[in-house]
Structure 1
Amino acid sequence: MSSTSLLPNTASHDSPSAQTASSNLLQDGGFEQQGAAWEACGKVGLVDAQSEGAEFVYAGRYAIVMGISADGSDCPQLPNNSVPKQILSQSLSIPANARAVTVSFWFRGFAGTSVDIFLARGFYQFDPDLGGVKLGSFSTDQPPGWQLYRTVLTDDRLDLVRGQTLRFSIVIQGDVPVERDAALLIDEVQVVAADLRTAPAPLPPALRGDGSRPLAVVRAEGSNRWLYRMDTDGSNLQLIYRGLLNNVRSPVWSPNAQQIAVADNNTWPWPVPDPDPQNNLAATAITVLNADGSGSRQLYQTQSQKGSRCPFVALPGQSETPSSIVRVNRLTWMPDGQRLAFTNVGFLTFCDGRISGGRADVYLSPVPPALTPTDVASFAANPSINRNRQLLFESFGNNRTTGIWEADLPSSRENLLIAHRAESQPVWAPDGRRFVVKRDTSSPSEDRSERTNAIVLYDRQNLSNPRMLLFADHGRSIDHVRWSPDGMYLVYTLHRLDGGTDIWWLDVTSGATGPITTDGRALEADWRPGSTLQRVFVPLVTRN
């Protein structure tokens, strides 16, 4: 294969696990034999980390680069008379007794072109109707860093490949536009006759419960959403707050670990409802309570506005006025513990149930408590504030590029950190330098509803080389990622395939993960702050 030069960089990467190396149905999946077992056309290149830089290799010395100089040279003409721009391919045999087949590789994408992945009938035959299976497609326009592509074949798709000799192929089709700077780096390719989705690991000794209940957790109890505290192993559950109307969300500990703030969903007007129930609209208060559940007080209350009376019957020349609903989510404390930043979410609702529009803005809670908060960032959501008063948020309008932004709260200066819509829900680490995001990956297909979520760790001082901590293909999706006080662990909400939700832990160093709850009723959690995982015992009293 031809060599392609790229800009050097001194970044390095951890070596991947070798657990499936011996069972890989492909030869030289890491390209350490310089691609000797592979066939390619269209000027597919081989990258040498010793000359091009470690950033362009995930593990070992070599990786493959596609996209650059893709010109179709030496590529075969397909049955439809088109000529692919590039192909990377290797023959393999799928065992006849395979109960699942996992296809995976690490990749890094730049600029834009579309890539297809196949277990194909031949080097030149990609039509799944003629044998094999199309594994997926994705764009090389990707957020920074190496990420995992993984898909598992079971059931009907497995029947299409079991017991056959096929070709694993990565293809840039001939009719696909390729931007000038488009590039796709590929490393550690594996095809394994097993189901290798993320599996739970044993609970680390550091997370064994001892009665201190450092997790503030919202749980579903029938139609109710109540606030509890519990240990990091899911034991010692204690109800501390039921909410204004039994609908509590977004718990967050105060910096001094003495209070918990929640989004307390209720109705407007509040606290005196309208005599006509139809005029009572969904709304939210920000409630702060003591760590034992006592002393609850409201800092802020959203004000929704009633539209046309329902059912609406239009007279000539009339049209329905929708109701304006305003609610709160995603709370975070200022470092001094005196105010909270939060997302105000507004949208319109019609009598027939339709929802229209939608806008999110980041505010600071008013001082003293009032109905008018301080606007921090318009067209923004999911704030996180570190000890240096730097605000992370995601933005999607207002003349800003879509992505993750940083704002210095004393000066209000804003900086774009990550210009990609795949990244969301940023959360600062306790050290004030690292942060994690939720990523919508490109696996397993172009269909957004099928994409696997991931957790990615960024270093504020090296944004171009984040590390993927978790590829969350053990559930439907993830949410509500929060840090342990020592920065060694994360907790996150796993939306299960059966519709339930649980809280899971994640080891930031090893990537090991496992469940804290298993009953499918835990919705979101926050970890009490502190310098270490020290145990602090607080008497608990249930409050209505």
Structure 2
Amino acid sequence: MYRLPASLVLFTGVILFLVATFSIAQGQPQNLIQDGGFEQGAINWAGCGNVGLVDAQVSGSEFVYAGRYAAALGIDADGSGCPQLPNLTTPKQILQQQLSIPANAPAVTVSFWYRAAAGTAVDMFLARGLYQFDPSLGGVKLGSFATDLPPGWQLYRTVLTGENLDRVRGQTLFFSIVIQSDAPTEETAYLLVDDVRVVAADQRTRASPLPPALRGDGSRPLAVIRREGDSRFLYRMDTDGGNRTLLYRGLLNNVRNPVWSPDGQRIAVVDYNTWPWPVPDPDPQNNLLASAITVLNANGGGGQQVFQTQSQKGSRCPFVGVPGQSEVPSQILRVNHLAWLSADQLVFDIVGFNQFCNGQVTGGAANIHVAPARPNNTFPPTLAAAAVRPTANRNGRVLFEHFGGRTSGIWEVVATSSSPTPELLLAGGRETQPVWSPDSRRFAVVRDTVSPSADASERVTAIMVYDRDNLALPRQVLFADHGRSVRSISWSPNGAYLAYTLEQANGQSDIWWLEIASGATGPITTDGVSLEASWRPVSIASVYLPMVIR
């Protein structure tokens, strides 16, 4: 973790404000904040409690999001120069600027980029009075969060509509970031803030036109799982959503987690079924939830089950207990996620739990295993215990998420080592679903942000891209406030794009593309039933083989 250098330019105290009145004009909405990037030496800002500026030319460019300067809070936050509030407390630090919200604003978007280290907490307001941070006195509380956050610069953004918009429209307010009197301020804590924007418009992420590079030509197909009624089927389609072709219906119409082989000639899927398989038990009670791993040819034919979980039956249902006898739950085992470790090996998790006759589920365990990508009769060896969601690169490095008692975070284990030992790369539980890039150096994760508030039901997910050789400076490439959440990331063959699943609050989901360099994004599917996708890792000639649908 980087420590913030001591070379800060400090605000000298509260300053007078020049308030401009804006109206909504055509074209790009105007930023109602003056000098949101602090490039004018913060002459339009007020601060107290030793709020400072970081200078990239002195401290390093990684401490500034854009330009030369960023504001710094949390360091030596002693309340000096801060006023006593109406509740008789004195904040430790305040950074604020006065602004006016147009009376005809259709929405108000408040955003800024920030980087933080653990040890304090902040509140954000559009406050009615200079130091009136009680929303009952006017204005709105935008949100709050603690600074114990993953590394790198990330976006905070919230959009005011409805009642909150009514409370600010036509008002002169103070955008304020406050460290309250009861907030901790540990020695290592800091919050860097840059590129502050308050805009009289809804500026959530919007869809962009499909880039020419992604126009469908059959050379970079996606393997996609689509929901059809209660079933999940495997399809192949182009990167513009065209040429959709059914490949595989599954053993019991429930196919999940498609992944292409490194040479692009096969697709492995998790195939939900029951155990025993393929011959069911004559007693229906003895047929338990389970799953297989099926490997198919690229055209959907030649399917082989290369692994099968074997769940174990407990007490007969309905269970009628007698003195001294307790119900024995059934032990359900399923594969949830898999990846190709090499051209002939798969790495996958096996998740287990106990299920009682009344449907109650207890316990839970998960390990990651390695097995050949062909039928075999041996139980696969364990690569990592208390682990789920593996992803492998061409060097045999496997990233995975913690499970159960393992320390929270993203872990790495070298599968090709003679003694594989997991190493914690990214501590904490805010980042999940790691996926290696084709260059085997970068990887993407889904991050649970603190925007717009600390309330988990309101938080937006984001996609971050890490460089394995510099984990301190990941890059946020998507802020997903155009949907409820994102999941199931897949890299394009050249590493320039990502495909991801965008879930909406109504339960629908689609596959979207994301250009990493620009952050532009847009839909590949629009029918609301596309669940997950895998990008073929190599480009091929535009030849569609006859489909063999199973």
Give the TM-score, by structure 2 length: 0.92
Deviation at 1:50, TM superposition (A): 0.9
Alpha-carbon displacement from aligned partner over 1:254-280 (angstroms, at most 9, x marks no partner): 111111000000111111212222222
Match of 1:413, SS state, is coil
> 2:56 aligns to what?
49
1-side partners of 2:366 and 2:546: how far apart? 35
Q: Is the 8 A contact 1:301 1:371 kept in 2?
A: no
Deviation at 1:243, TM superposition (A): 0.3
What is the 5 A alignment of 1:279-294?
279-294=286-301
Kindly report structure 1 stretches of 4+ aligned residues shifted beyond 6 Å: 19-22
Aligned residues: 527
What is the 5 A alignment of 1:102-181?
102-181=109-188
Q: Is the 8 A contact 1:213 1:236 kept in 2?
A: no
> 2:510 aligns to what?
502
Deviation at 1:529, TM superposition (A): 1.2
Distance 1:491 1:388, change over 3 A: same
Deviation at 1:7, TM superposition (A): 8.3
2-side partners of 1:397 and 1:540: how far apart? 45
2-side partners of 1:20 and 1:65: how far apart? 32
Q: Is the 8 A contact 1:489 1:505 kept in 2?
A: yes
Distance 1:20 1:284, change over 3 A: farther
Distance 1:53 1:346, change over 3 A: same
Q: Is the 8 A contact 1:238 1:540 kept in 2?
A: no
Deviation at 1:89, TM superposition (A): 1.0
Residue 32 of structure 1 aligns with an amino acid whose one-letter code is E
2-side partners of 1:524 and 1:265: how far apart? 16
Deviation at 1:524, TM superposition (A): 0.5
Unpaired runs of 5+ residues, structure 2, are 9-25
Residue 376 of structure 2 aligns with an amino acid whose one-letter code is P
Residue 403 of structure 1 aligns with an amino acid whose one-letter code is G
> 2:441 aligns to what?
433
Distance 1:495 1:187, change over 3 A: same
2:257 is the alignment partner of 1:250: yes
Equivalent residue in structure 2 for 1:461, among 445, 466, 469:
469
1-side partners of 2:355 and 2:113: how far apart? 43
Equivalent residue in structure 1 for 2:193, among 186, 189, 209:
186
> 1:11 aligns to what?
none
Q: Is the 8 A contact 1:406 1:416 kept in 2?
A: yes
Equivalent residue in structure 1 for 2:495, among 487, 493, 497:
487
Residue 26 of structure 1 aligns with an amino acid whose one-letter code is I
The worse-fitting range, judged by mean Cα deviation, of 154-163 and 52-61 is: 154-163
2-side partners of 1:395 and 1:478: how far apart? 19
Match of 1:288, SS state, is strand
Q: Is the 8 A contact 1:90 1:169 kept in 2?
A: yes
> 2:481 aligns to what?
473
Distance 1:483 1:163, change over 3 A: same
Equivalent residue in structure 2 for 1:401, among 402, 407, 423:
407
The worse-fitting range, judged by mean Cα deviation, of 229-238 and 156-165 is: 156-165
Match of 2:168, SS state, is coil
> 2:537 aligns to what?
529
Percentage of identical aligned residues: 64
> 1:314 aligns to what?
321
> 1:342 aligns to what?
348
Alpha-carbon displacement from aligned partner over 1:294-327 (angstroms, at most 9, x marks no partner): 1111111112222333333433444433322211
Equivalent residue in structure 2 for 1:60, among 41, 63, 67:
67
Unpaired runs of 5+ residues, structure 1, are 9-18
Deviation at 1:392, TM superposition (A): 1.2
> 2:275 aligns to what?
268
> 2:226 aligns to what?
219
Deviation at 1:343, TM superposition (A): 1.6
Q: Is the 8 A contact 2:29 2:201 kept in 1?
A: no
2-side partners of 1:322 and 1:133: how far apart? 51
Deviation at 1:536, TM superposition (A): 4.3
The worse-fitting range, judged by mean Cα deviation, of 353-362 and 427-436 is: 353-362
1-side partners of 2:361 and 2:163: how far apart? 37
Deviation at 1:123, TM superposition (A): 2.7
Q: Is the 8 A contact 2:29 2:199 kept in 1?
A: no
Match of 2:434, SS state, is strand
The worse-fitting range, judged by mean Cα deviation, of 319-328 and 383-392 is: 319-328
Q: Is the 8 A contact 1:349 1:356 kept in 2?
A: yes
Deviation at 1:415, TM superposition (A): 2.7
